[in-house]
Amino acid sequence: MPVVDYDALTEVIDIPTPARELLSRPEKQISFALSLPLGDEFFCADAHVVYHNTARGVAKGGIRFDASVTLEETQDLAELMALKTALTQIPFGGGKSGIKADPYELAPLEKDSLIKEFVHMIRKEFVYPLDYVPAPDMGTNPRDMAIIYGETHIPESVTGKPPRNGGLPGRREATGRGVAAVAALAWERASGESLEGATCAVQGFGNVGSWTCQFLADMGVRIVGVSDIHGGIYDEKGLDIGGLTEHVNAGQPLVDFGPAGVSNAELLALPVAFLIPAACGEVLTEENAESVQAKLIIEAANHPTTSEADAILVENGVTIVPDILANSGGVVASYLEWRLGKSGTMTNQQETYEVIDETMADTAARVWDFADDRMSIRTSAWALAVDELVKAMADRGWF
CB under 8 Å to 53, separation ≥6 — which residues? 22, 23, 27, 79, 82, 93, 94, 389, 393
Give the dihedral sign, CA 393/395/398/399: positive
CA distances from 98 to 107, 133, 326 (A): 19, 13, 22
For residues 290 and 93, give the distance between their C-alpha atoms in angstroms, rounded to a whole number: 36
DSSP symbol at 204 = -
Give the dihedral sign, CA 112/114/117/122: negative
For residues 92 and 59, give the distance between their C-alpha atoms in angstroms, rounded to a whole number: 6
- The pair phi, psi for residue 243, each rounded to 5°, is -65, -40
Q: Mark whether 391 is an active-site residue.
A: no
Q: Tell me the one-letter amino acid at 73.
A: E
Single out the residue of 323, 328, 243 nearest to residue 276, CA to CA: 323
- The pair phi, psi for residue 40, each rounded to 5°, is -85, -5
Q: Where are the alpha helices (DSSP H) in the chain?
A: 6-9, 17-23, 71-87, 108-122, 142-152, 174-191, 207-218, 241-249, 264-268, 307-315, 323-326, 329-343, 349-371, 377-395
Q: Of the listed 60, 96, 111, 161, which one is catalytic?
A: 96
Active site residues: 96
